[in-house]
Structure 1
Amino acid sequence: MQRAALSGVCGPLRGGARSRPQVVSQQLLFHAGLPTFAGDKELLVKLRKKTGYSFVNCKKALEKFCGDSKQAEAWLHEQAQKEGWSKASKLQGRKTKEGLIGLLQEGNAAVMVEVNCETDFVARNVKFQQLVQQAATGTMFHYQDTKNQLTTYSKRFMKAAELSQLRTGPTGSLLSDQLALAIGKLGENMALKRAACVAVPANHFIGSYIHGVLPADNLSPANVALGKYGALVICQALEQSQKSSLADLGRRLGQHVVGMAPLSVGSLEDEPGGEAETKMLAQPFLLDPSITLGQYVQPQGVSVLDFVRFECGEDTELPETE
Structure 2
Amino acid sequence: MAAFTAADVKALREKTGAGMMDAKKALDEANGDMEAAIDALRAKGLATAQKKSSRTAAEGLIGLAVEGTRGVAVEVNSETDFVAKNDKFQDFVRKTTQVALGLGNDDVEALKGSAYPDGGTVTDKLTENVATIGENQQVRRMKTVSVGQGAVVAYMHNAVSPEAQDLGKIGVLVALEGDANADVLAALGRDIAQHAAAMFPLALNADGLDADVIERERKIAAEKAAESGKPENVQEKMVEGAVKKYAKENALLSQIFVKDGKATVEEYVARIAKEAGASIKLVDYVRFQLGEGIEKEESDFAAEVAAAVAG
What TM bracket, shorter-length normalisation?
A: 0.5 to 0.7
Number of residue pairs matched?
244
Matches within 5 A, 1:15-30: none
Kindly name which structure, 1 or 2, has the bigger radius of gyration based on alpha carbons.
Answer: 1
CA drift of 1:100 comes to: 0.9
- Do the aligned partners of 1:211 and 1:228 also contact (CA within 8 Å) in 2? yes
- Do the aligned partners of 1:273 and 1:282 also contact (CA within 8 Å) in 2? no
2:202 counterpart of 1:263:
yes
What is the alpha-carbon distance in structure 2 between the residues aligned to residue 80 and residue 288 of structure 1? 57
Aligned counterpart in structure 2 of residue 244 of structure 1, from 155, 177, 183: 183
CA drift of 1:142 comes to: 3.0
2:199 counterpart of 1:199:
no
2:106 counterpart of 1:157:
yes
CA drift of 1:263 comes to: 2.7
Cα pair distance change 1:188/1:298, threshold 3 Å:
same
> Structure 1: which 4+ aligned runs deviate by more than 3 Å?
51-58, 75-81, 271-276
Tell me the residue number matched to 2:291. 313
Q: Give the helix-richer structure, 1 or 2.
A: 2
2:248 counterpart of 1:285:
no
CA drift of 1:195 comes to: 1.4
Cα pair distance change 1:258/1:210, threshold 3 Å:
same
- Do the aligned partners of 1:104 and 1:224 also contact (CA within 8 Å) in 2? no
- TM-score w.r.t. length of structure 1: 0.64
What is the alpha-carbon distance in structure 2 between the residues aligned to residue 200 and residue 124 of structure 1? 33
What is the alpha-carbon distance in structure 2 between the residues aligned to residue 76 and residue 180 of structure 1? 18
Aligned counterpart in structure 2 of residue 141 of structure 1, from 102, 120, 133: 102
Deviations 1:122-174 (A, max 9, x none): 1122122122112212212333xxxxxxxxxxxx3223x333212223x7321
- Do the aligned partners of 2:158 and 2:169 also contact (CA within 8 Å) in 1? yes
Tell me the residue number matched to 1:186. 133
Aligned counterpart in structure 2 of residue 173 of structure 1, from 92, 95, 120: 120
- The one-letter code matched in structure 2 to 1:101 is I
- Do the aligned partners of 1:77 and 1:181 also contact (CA within 8 Å) in 2? no
Aligned counterpart in structure 2 of residue 102 of structure 1, from 60, 63, 67: 63
Tell me the residue number matched to 1:300. 272
**Could you list the runs of 5+ residues in structure 1 that have no partner in the other structure?**
7-39, 66-71, 144-155, 218-222, 317-322
Identity of aligned residues (%): 31
- Do the aligned partners of 1:111 and 1:136 also contact (CA within 8 Å) in 2? yes
CA drift of 1:216 comes to: 7.8
Matches within 5 A, 1:116-135: 116-135=77-96
- Do the aligned partners of 2:64 and 2:166 also contact (CA within 8 Å) in 1? yes
Q: Say which SS state the counterpart of residue 227 (structure 1) adopts.
A: strand
CA drift of 1:115 comes to: 0.5
Q: Say which SS state the counterpart of residue 277 (structure 1) adopts.
A: helix
What is the alpha-carbon distance in structure 2 between the residues aligned to residue 5 and residue 180 of structure 1? 28
What is the alpha-carbon distance in structure 2 between the residues aligned to residue 116 and residue 305 of structure 1? 28
What is the alpha-carbon distance in structure 2 between the residues aligned to residue 115 and residue 300 of structure 1? 35
What is the alpha-carbon distance in structure 1 between the residues aligned to residue 180 and residue 247 of structure 2? 33
CA drift of 1:80 comes to: 5.6
CA drift of 1:191 comes to: 0.9
What is the alpha-carbon distance in structure 1 between the residues aligned to residue 83 and residue 132 of structure 2? 11
- The one-letter code matched in structure 1 to 2:139 is L
CA drift of 1:116 comes to: 0.6
CA drift of 1:83 comes to: 3.5
Tell me the residue number matched to 1:232. 173
- Do the aligned partners of 1:234 and 1:307 also contact (CA within 8 Å) in 2? yes
Q: Say which SS state the counterpart of residue 160 (structure 2) adopts.
A: coil
CA drift of 1:5 comes to: 5.0
Tell me the residue number matched to 1:213. 159
Cα pair distance change 1:226/1:306, threshold 3 Å:
same
- Do the aligned partners of 1:81 and 1:180 also contact (CA within 8 Å) in 2? no
- Do the aligned partners of 2:103 and 2:111 also contact (CA within 8 Å) in 1? no
CA drift of 1:212 comes to: 1.0
What is the alpha-carbon distance in structure 1 between the residues aligned to residue 145 and residue 183 of structure 2? 20
